[in-house]
Amino acid sequence: MAETAPDTAPATGSNRLAFAALIAGNVALAFGPWFVRLADTGPVAAGFWRVALAAPLLLAIAWRGGWRPAGLRPGLWWMVGVAGVSFAADLGSWHLGILRTTMANATLFGNCATLIFPLYGFIVLRAWPSRIQGLALLLAAIGGALLMGQSYSLNPRNLAGDLLCLFAGTLYTLYFIIMARVRETTAALPALALASAAAILPLLLAATLLGERIWPHDWWPLLGLVLVSQLLGQGLMMYALGKLSPLVIGLALLTQPIVAAAVGWIVYDETLGAADLVGAVLVAVALVLVGRTPVVAPPRGGSRMAAKEPR
């Protein structure tokens, strides 16, 4: 059994930066449902434009930074391809669910990786939590249950949207697991660029088969998805994914439903109850606790993942 890090171990400057990037990335991603609701395309088509416009920018930035695809082993291409298809299916089902439930529910169920991804860390990577991290996980679970229970009880008609978002969250976990492997040998921007490119065609095909409107009249919501959700949100998440443990990554995902609930309350008058507020406070306390000693993500074969940032 792998040893847990002591509760008093100081976090390194690199880990603090990665944790700050993780929280900032989740805050940015929380605005995604709002942009999807504002878009005048179909929801799956909005996901297509999110990756289709972002991928060339990401590839250009990675290329300018010195990255070259030559020499990538075939197995890595397969992993990126599967990650891209998983991300496409995640975005498609999540965007469909966003239009059928509240913003808080969409982000909460869509980020069920909060619990599944840490389990992957415990079972596969044997990255066991410290005492403080275990307490943080418990508080986050209680807070998430309060957020879920209160928001769902207000409007049980959201069931179809909730199920779509829950399915999306499961696919999002698969995407995280594969991209964590990719990040062992590939820097954040190239990894995200390749996964985004792999998601373009599946999303376009799905939007076409669903008969959605693909070409927009108003580009601003789609540009918001590209700049805020994909470039900023996913970019910061990919950076953190190569440096922090699945437990820390999973807990930080609960930032999204809190921010999205606030946006839904301000913009769409979606009701927030006392349980929502208590749940948000518990999640915030959990994030403070886990942020004290963010643990570097252990790779499958040892502790080399975050030894240096690959190019």
DSSP string, 43-64: HHHHHHHHHHHHHHHHHHHHHH
- In the numeric block, the tokens 């469909």 are attached to 96
What letter does residue 129 receive in the DSSP assignment? -
Q: In this predicted model, which residue has the larger pLDDT, 242 or 147?
A: 242
The Cβ-side half-sphere exposure at 227, using a 13 Å CA radius, reads 6
pLDDT at 306 > cutoff 60: no
CA distance 166 to 5: 32
The proportion of the chain whose per-residue pLDDT surpasses 70, expressed as a percent, equals 75
pLDDT at position 146: 73
In terms of Cβ atoms closer than 10 Å to its own Cβ (0-12, 13-18, 19+), residue 78 is exposed
| pLDDT score, position 270 | 67
Whether 196 and 242 have beta carbons less than 8 Å apart is answered as no
Q: Rounded to an integer, what distance in angstroms lies between the CA atom of residue 100 and that of residue 92?
A: 13
Cβ atoms 113, 176 nearer than 8 A: yes
| DSSP character string of 60-108 | HHHHHTT---TT--HHHHHHHHHHHHHHHHHHHHHHHHHTTS-HHHHHH
**At a CB cut-off of 8 Å and minimum separation 6, what does 309 contact?**
187, 242
In this model, does residue 13 exceed pLDDT 70?
Answer: no
C-alpha distances (whole Å) from 239 to each of 138, 184, 192, 309 are 26, 11, 9, 9
Give the pLDDT score at 119.
67
Rg (CA), the chain: 19
CB 129 within 8 A of CB 4: yes
**Confidence grade of residue 311 (pLDDT, cut at 50, 70, 90):** very low
Residues 6+ apart with CB under 8 A from 174: 86
pLDDT given for residue 74 in this prediction: 82
- pLDDT at residue 12 tops 60: no
How far, in Å, CA of 232 to CA of 188, rounded? Answer: 12
pLDDT at residue 309 greater than cutoff 50: no
Spatial contact of 49 and 225, defined as CB atoms under 8 Å apart:
yes
- Rounded to an integer, the average pLDDT of 112-138 is 67
Q: Give per-residue pLDDT as tens, 88-107.
A: 999 999 999 998 887 777 87
Question: What's the token pair of residue 67?
Answer: 């990255």
Task: Please count the other Cβ atoms lying within 10 Å of the Cβ belonging to residue 292.
Answer: 16
Report the C-alpha gap between 66 and 64 in whole angstroms. Answer: 5
Asked whether residue 293 carries a pLDDT value surpassing 60, the answer given is: no
Better-scored residue on pLDDT, 55 or 271: 55
pLDDT of residue 81: 93
Using a pLDDT cut of 90, give the percent of the chain over it. 35
Residues 6+ apart with CB under 8 A from 63: none
pLDDT tier for residue 267 given thresholds of 50, 70 and 90: confident
Q: What is the pLDDT of residue 43?
A: 96
When mean pLDDT is compared across 69-83, 230-244, 250-264, the lowest value belongs to 250-264
What is the structure's pLDDT at 148? 62
Q: Which letter does DSSP use for residue 157 in this model?
A: G
pLDDT value of position 308: 40
Closest-CA residue to 199 (of 94, 120, 108, 107): 94
pLDDT at res. 230: 94
Above 60 in pLDDT, residue 250?
yes
